[in-house]
Amino acid sequence: MKKMLVMLMVVFLVMGFAFAEAQQETMSEQTIEKVIKTNVMASGDLEIFSWWAGDEGPALEALITQFKGNYPKVNLINATVTGGSGVNAKAVLKTRMLGGDPPEAFQVHAGQELIGTWVNSDRMLDLTPLFEAENWFEVFPEDLINLIGTDEGIWSVPVCVHKSNVMWYIPANLKKWGVTVPTTWDEFFAVATKLQAKGIVPLSMGALWTANENWENIALAVLGVDDYNALWSGDLAWTDAKVEKVWMTFGKMLDLTNKDASSMSWQQATDMVISGKAAFNFMGDWAAGYMMTTLKMVPEKDFGWANTPGTTGAFQFLADSFGIPKGCKNPTAAVAWVSACGSKAGQDAFNPLKGSIPARTDANMSLYSVYSKSAAMDFANDSIVGSLAHGCVANEGFMNDFNSVMDGFMKNRDAKAACLACAEIAETNGMTK
Amino acid sequence: MNISKGKKKNKEKLYSLLILLPSILLVGIFVYGFVGNTIWTSLTDWGEGAGLALNPIKNFVGLKNYKTLFFSFTQSGFRQDLVNTIFYTLLLLFGTLFLGLFLAIMLDRKVKKEGIYRTIFLYPMALSFIVSGTIWRWLLAPSGGVNQIPTWFGGKQNQFLWISSQKQILQFNWQNIWQVLGVIGLIFCVIVLLINIKREDKRKIIIWSCVSGIFALFAFVICPLIPPVLKSEEKHGLNLAIIGIIIAGVWQYSGYAMALYLAGLRGLSGSIKESAKLDGANEAVYYFKIAIPNLKPITLSAVVIMAHISLKMFDLIYAMAGADNGFTGHPSVRMYLTTFRANKFALGAAMAVILFFLAACFIIPYMVNSHRSRRPMR
Amino acid sequence: MNKVKVKKSFYYFWMIVLCIMFLTPVYMAIITSLKDPAEINLTTSWKWPTILNFNSYSKAFKLLKPNFINSVILAVSGTVISSFVGAINGYIFSKNKFKGSELIFTLLLFGMFIPYQIILIPLFQVLKTFGLYGSLTGLIFAHVVYGIPIVTMLFRNFYDQIPDSILESGRIDGAGYFSIFTRLMLPLSIPSFVVVGIWQFTQIWNEFLWGICLTKQSSNPITVGLSQLAGGQAVSWNIPMAGAILSALPVLAIYIFLGKYFIQGLLSGSVKE
């Protein structure tokens, strides 16, 4: 009896091994070109997958309403998954993609998060024919298209753009303390000393990902646009003295932040600036949405913004976009959806409610807030570089490991060790030449 | 008569087997099959490349992932998570069991409105870890919540950073890991040795003295001769940040321990208590010398259930400290992130296997004890 | 007389302190749920809201209603099925032992120690293969399967406390294998059903990860609904807190009303071994 049991257990274990090797069904050949050529009216089920909810819900709803107006026959299923700073959404999406049940379209950050994860695994449909048909090459900035495409094609349609190198402050408070907005890091350190003497925290910060965002702002400042891009393309070594300087500046910046940063959400860090406990906060421009919509503050009057020190003339961006996975059940409807996402009407319905700026350069700016107008001007005029913390310039494997490097740096403040660690994780994650 | 009894017994045996068959099959597939699947995945390199392809290329790499986890410097976070796990489990166990026992003793006397107290202590169990984690996150935020309490009484705001704390005590260096393990093994052997000396079991005394000797030799003579396992120093220890999470966990499950112990205390017949009183024992003596030793089986059962719960700490840690707080890390959180955020499926699977073995360790003493008590005495 | 009074007040003092400590998180949740979003701030987290904003509850309820129904179906079916599986398995392992049954039990018990994240991907693939992905049926199935070890253990320990003599007299009276179970054991098992039922109901009701990965939108349980409330870039915490309180109410109600039976069930030896 016992022998039989042990044998049975072994059988199950081996079955498990074998199951792991089972092949997935191959998916039929679909291309966007075929869909466009067939030109049939979209109908049936359309499942879109995103992580927009809460305060971003209304924006998505507006886009969906606009889409439904044009395609009444489509049954749109909004499979939003929120929570866990997007990790839950990723878990659900990846489980489905691995299990062979892709949605028609899913939200993904434009850039390496899309390319490193999905394009390299050959799971996305090439949207170049759609870009041509919709004339999007004229409408989206060239820098943006370069970042969302590879040599083999273009893989998603950008819906909204956020700027990550923004520094927020309360003008009235700065006046009270007698400080002006710094434009370089030397100026910032000088201002910080003045503020610390008054017992004000110079820079408020939240949980780890906000530290990553601050790091990328400093990297852009210290390296400048060209070297910053070189770092991600593998042309600049992580162990270079310039990169070490980035970490050292970052270390100095950490000394100016609040000690309880890791337990604060980003809104709570913004709250510190509003209540006067802190002077400045670096955050992407969803902070404007928070201040205007939830806290009902007036831009320019109640709160002010500037580029983070040292990044004048540069726009560090992240873009949410929609891509179409291979093997989806209703490609016609999927194409209809992403064209709506990239259309002028769609973007102008979505972005004002979300507080972001449209990826298109021909949007109707009168619909947007004072802040968004200034951001859109920057987007049109400044050099555009990608954000690190939001999946543009580095793939997911690198980002995950970078969190550990950041965690280690925050413990020991060793710039050289951080550089070496980054060099190693860049290599393991395929980011070196 | 005997033949038909034998036949009947066989028929019943068949029924038993048939009824158990679905459970056996289901658990076989869904537990053992999946564990096998995970073990296999951990021996490949799935994820080092196009991990999410429809037919990803998985090469067999043997124990490479395990080597990375234990000895590569990129995974120092995982090693701290392992150390954290030990403290999480021990502190959670001790915390819930002690508080539960204390509450049970408090409630054991015939209190008016016992139902209300019992409900107050038991209700946290009804909440999900995510809900309680979110609330406790607010309570333990350094600039609000619990730290503000001293200010109500005129004191200064408490400065302990709770989950943001970066302090670490009981530090040791991972480079000396073999030595640390040797010393821990030695301490364990010495304890067992002392127990056997008390029991005056000659044979076992000799055995455990020899084993202790071997561990001592290993720890103090051989280990210094082994080259360090890491290139540079790496400190690990008890992170004070986990205290906040332990508090939330203990708050949530001490009620369950209380219910168990209360049932146990009530189960001790009232006459024992009466005769103890008559013999002049006061409350303290009654509890310490009579009641508590009788609660040992309950404790053992509670340990198994709490170990099962400590695996679900994922939800609690995730809700309280977020995904990337290295100080409160746990292998289950890291495994989740490594698999679903970094797409490193094989590495995540290796973490999962280690986690599974750690958890299974708790069942072994229970099984041994249960086997011993069920087998007829020699 | 005074000594007794001092002792009593000392005792009640500590009981009250403990109760306050246990109730603080609920207080925090309730006042946050009643605040206006703009008022929710870390530094003022203890303050009673200036205006009682009850519409966070109505908003939360509206958003959570479909999920609530799903959770009820999920938890009730899962609990009922689990309990019966546990009962019959426990009966066998306790009263109808055969050679190797101990080993099978030990092997079954290991199933308790699987962290849910580990088996997510294979579970998804198996459920999808059988067409159970996305629906509540698949989720119920998963919960029943992974609940087998613990419910079996709880029932087995309970049945160990029932003396064999009861079964002997049953056999003498001519009862067979199954009728002993249905006519003798089941009626005696009510306390154990309460304990197992409460435990499984709590676990299934509060489970999040499978709820989010194994169901599609229409079958989302309430834990998923809750996380949607707290999602997004800027969270107004009053609604998620209100939602959390609402979602905890059914389980809380069970504990409040059945708490006595829970202890009684434990007393009857459910976990004595």
- CB of B284 closer than 8 Å to CB of B129: no
Instruction: Give the model's pLDDT for residue C103.
Output: 82
Out of B33, B53, B77, whose CB is closest to A15? B33
**H or E, element range at A202:** strand A201-204
Percent helix, strand, coil in chain C, to 5, is 75, 0, 20
Higher pLDDT, A5 or C242: C242
How close is the nearest chain C Cα to the Cα of A147, in Å? 24
Compute how many other C-beta atoms are within 10 angstroms of the C-beta atom of residue A110.
Answer: 30
Residues on chain A touching C41 (C-beta within 8 angstroms): 271, 275
Residue C273 confidence (pLDDT) above 50:
no
- CB of B318 closer than 8 Å to CB of A84: yes
CB-based contact (8 Å) between B7 and chain C? no
How close is the nearest chain A Cα to the Cα of B160, in Å? 9
Closest CA to A120 of A150, A143, A98: A150
Burial tier of B224 (Cβ tally within 10 Å: 0-12, 13-18, 19+)? exposed
Instruction: Say which residues have a Cβ less than 8 Å from residue C216's Cβ, sequence separation at least 6.
Output: A77, A79, C134, C135
Residue pLDDT, tens place only, A411-422: 889 999 899 989
Instruction: Give the model's pLDDT for residue C242.
Output: 87
Residue pLDDT, tens place only, A315-343: 999 998 999 998 888 888 999 999 999 99
Instruction: Give the model's pLDDT for residue A20.
Output: 55
- CB of B167 closer than 8 Å to CB of A262: no
Report the b/e string of A125-152 with b at 16+ CB within 10 A: bbbbbbbebbebeebbbebbbebbbeee
Pinpoint the alpha helices (H) of A255-395. 266-274, 286-289, 331-342, 344-354, 370-381
CB contact under 8 A, C148 and B26: yes
Q: Compute the distance between CA of residue B141 and CA of residue A263 in angstroms, rounded to an integer.
A: 6
CB contact under 8 A, C234 and A54: yes
How close is the nearest chain C Cα to the Cα of A331, in Å? 20
Q: Are strands B235-239 and A44-50 parallel, antiparallel or unpaired?
A: unpaired
Residues on chain B touching C247 (C-beta within 8 angstroms): 128, 131
Residues on chain A touching B162 (C-beta within 8 angstroms): 263
CB-based contact (8 Å) between B35 and chain C? yes
Q: What DSSP string runs through A364-391?
A: -GGGS-HHHHHHHHHHHHSEEEE-TTTT
CB-based contact (8 Å) between C107 and chain A? yes
- CB of C267 closer than 8 Å to CB of B127: no
How close is the nearest chain C Cα to the Cα of A207, in Å? 14
Compute how many other C-beta atoms are within 10 angstroms of the C-beta atom of residue B281.
Answer: 16
How close is the nearest chain A Cα to the Cα of B213, in Å? 36
Q: Compute the distance between CA of residue A285 and CA of residue A266 in angstroms, rounded to an integer.
A: 12
Instruction: Say which residues have a Cβ less than 8 Å from residue C25's Cβ, sequence separation at least 6.
Output: B124, B132, B135, B136, B139, B251
Q: Compute the distance between CA of residue B374 and CA of residue B352 in angstroms, rounded to an integer.
A: 33
CB-based contact (8 Å) between C121 and chain A? yes
Residues on chain A touching B141 (C-beta within 8 angstroms): 260, 263-264, 268
DSSP E strands, A96-156: 105-109, 149-150, 153-154
Average pLDDT value for residue range C97-113: 82
Compute how many other C-beta atoms are within 10 angstroms of the C-beta atom of residue A303.
Answer: 23
Q: Please, which residues 266-295 of chain B have a Cβ atom closer than 8 Å to chain C?
A: 266-267
Scan for tokens 């949740």, then name that residue. Answer: C29
Q: Are strands A74-80 and A149-150 parallel, antiparallel or unpaired?
A: unpaired
How close is the nearest chain B Cα to the Cα of C224, in Å? 11
Scan for tokens 């020190």, then name that residue. Answer: A309
- CB of C230 closer than 8 Å to CB of B134: yes
pLDDT tens for each residue of chain B, 378 residues long: 556 667 777 788 888 888 888 888 999 889 889 888 888 888 988 877 777 777 777 888 888 889 888 887 778 888 888 888 888 888 999 999 999 988 888 888 777 777 888 888 888 888 888 888 888 888 888 877 788 887 788 777 777 778 777 777 878 887 777 888 888 888 888 888 887 788 777 887 888 888 888 888 888 888 777 777 777 777 788 888 889 899 999 999 998 888 888 888 777 766 677 777 777 767 666 677 777 777 777 787 788 888 878 877 888 888 888 777 778 888 888 888 888 888 888 888 999 888 888 877 766 766 676 666 665 433
Instruction: Give the model's pLDDT for residue B376.
Output: 46
Counting the structural domains of chain C, the total is 1
Compute how many other C-beta atoms are within 10 angstroms of the C-beta atom of residue C228.
Answer: 23
Task: Flag whether C254 is in a domain.
Answer: yes
How close is the nearest chain C Cα to the Cα of B10, in Å? 10
Q: Please, which residues 303-332 of chain A have a Cβ atom closer than 8 Å to chain B?
A: 327
Instruction: Give the model's pLDDT for residue A146.
Output: 82
Task: Flag whether C5 is in a domain.
Answer: no
CB contact under 8 A, B308 and C113: yes
Residues on chain B touching C255 (C-beta within 8 angstroms): 119, 122-123, 125-126
Q: Compute the distance between CA of residue B10 and CA of residue B4 in angstroms, rounded to an integer.
A: 10
**Best of B10, B21, B25, B32 to mutate (most A CBs within 10 Å, chain A):** B32
CB contact under 8 A, C232 and A295: no
Q: Compute the distance between CA of residue B242 and CA of residue B328 in angstroms, rounded to an integer.
A: 5
Scan for tokens 């509890």, then name that residue. Answer: B287
Q: Bridge-partner residues for A358, per DSSP?
A: A160
Residue A191 CA, chain-centre distance (Å), reads 30
Residue C228 confidence (pLDDT) above 90:
no
Q: Bridge-partner residues for A46, per DSSP?
A: A76
CA angle C167, C171, C175 (to 5 degrees): 105
How close is the nearest chain B Cα to the Cα of C14, in Å? 9
CB-based contact (8 Å) between B51 and chain A? yes
The structural domains of chain B, with segments of one domain joined by +, span: 1-62, 74-338
Q: Please, which residues 223-252 of chain A have a Cβ atom closer than 8 Å to chain B?
A: none
Q: Bridge-partner residues for A322, per DSSP?
A: A107, A157
Q: Where is average pLDDT lowest: A408-417, C39-48, C153-162?
A: C39-48
Q: Compute the distance between CA of residue A276 and CA of residue B127 in angstroms, rounded to an integer.
A: 36
Average pLDDT value for residue range A78-99: 80
Instruction: Give the model's pLDDT for residue C29.
Output: 86
Q: How far apart are the first and last CA of chain B?
A: 32
Q: Compute the distance between CA of residue C6 and CA of residue A11 in angstroms, rounded to an integer.
A: 67
Structure tokens at C169: 């007299």
CB-based contact (8 Å) between B145 and chain C? yes
Average pLDDT value for residue range A303-312: 93
Out of B34, B55, B141, whose CB is closest to A24? B55
Instruction: Give the model's pLDDT for residue A22.
Output: 53
CB contact under 8 A, B140 and A263: yes
Counting one residue from A and one from C, how many pairs have CB atoms under 8 Å apart?
Answer: 106
Q: What is the 3-state secondary structure (H, E, C) of B239-294?
A: ECCHHHHHHHHHHHHHHHHHHHHHHHHHHCCHHHHHHHHHCCCCHHHHHHHHHHHH
Residue A308 confidence (pLDDT) above 90:
yes
Residues on chain B touching A431 (C-beta within 8 angstroms): none
Residue pLDDT, tens place only, B77-115: 888 888 888 888 889 999 999 999 888 888 887 777 778
Residue A232 confidence (pLDDT) above 70:
yes
Residues on chain C touching B16 (C-beta within 8 angstroms): 92, 96, 98, 101
CB contact under 8 A, B342 and A17: no
Q: Compute the distance between CA of residue A396 and CA of residue A115 in angstroms, rounded to an integer.
A: 10
Q: How far apart are the first and last CA of chain A?
A: 59
CB-based contact (8 Å) between A289 and chain C? yes
How close is the nearest chain B Cα to the Cα of A401, in Å? 8
Residue C155 confidence (pLDDT) above 50:
yes
The chain C residue lying nearest B131, using CA atoms, is C244
Closest CA to C232 of A82, A213, A90: A82
Q: Compute the distance between CA of residue B21 and CA of residue B339 in angstroms, rounded to an integer.
A: 33
Instruction: Give the model's pLDDT for residue A182.
Output: 93
Confidence band of A29 (pLDDT split at 50, 70, 90): low
Task: Flag whether C273 is in a domain.
Answer: no
Contacts of B among chains (3+ CB pairs under 8 A):
A, C
- CB of A406 closer than 8 Å to CB of A397: no
Report the b/e string of C135-157 with b at 16+ CB within 10 A: bbbbbbbbbbbbbbbbbbbbbbb
Task: Flag whether C114 is in a domain.
Answer: yes
Q: What DSSP string runs through B98-129?
A: HHHHHHHHHHHS--TTHHHHHHHHHGGGGS-H
CB-based contact (8 Å) between B321 and chain A? yes
- CB of A330 closer than 8 Å to CB of A44: yes
Q: Are strands A153-154 and A278-282 parallel, antiparallel or unpaired?
A: unpaired
Residue pLDDT, tens place only, C245-266: 888 888 888 888 887 788 777 7
Residues on chain C touching B339 (C-beta within 8 angstroms): 117, 121
Residues on chain A touching B54 (C-beta within 8 angstroms): 24, 26-27, 100, 121-123, 327
Structure tokens at B142: 């350094």
Q: Compute the distance between CA of residue C6 and CA of residue B170 in angstroms, rounded to an integer.
A: 42
Q: What is the CATH number of the domain that holds C145?
A: 1.10.3720.10
Task: Flag whether C28 is in a domain.
Answer: no
Q: What percent of chain A has pLDDT over 90?
A: 37
- CB of A52 closer than 8 Å to CB of A60: yes
CB contact under 8 A, C118 and B34: yes
For residue C160, the enclosing domain spans 59-267
- CB of A172 closer than 8 Å to CB of A138: no
Task: Flag whether C11 is in a domain.
Answer: no
Higher pLDDT, A306 or A40: A306
Structure tokens at A421: 């660690």
**H or E, element range at A334:** helix A331-342
Task: Flag whether C4 is in a domain.
Answer: no
CB contact under 8 A, A397 and B24: no
Contacts of A among chains (3+ CB pairs under 8 A):
B, C
Q: Please, which residues 327-356 of chain B have a Cβ atom closer than 8 Å to chain C?
A: 332, 335-336, 339, 345, 349, 352, 355-356
Residue A21 confidence (pLDDT) above 60:
no
CB contact under 8 A, B136 and C25: yes
Task: Flag whether C47 is in a domain.
Answer: no
Average pLDDT value for residue range A102-112: 89
Distances B118 to B217, B264, C9, C49 between C-alpha atoms, Å: 52, 15, 19, 29
Q: Which amino acid is at A247?
A: W
CB contact under 8 A, C43 and B145: no
Contacts of C among chains (3+ CB pairs under 8 A):
A, B
- pTM for the model stands at 0.83
Q: Which CATH architecture has domain B74-338?
A: Orthogonal Bundle (1.10)
The chain A residue lying nearest B160, using CA atoms, is A260
Strand order in the sheet with A278-282: A201-204, A278-282, A166-169, A304-307
Percent helix, strand, coil in chain B, to 5, is 75, 5, 20
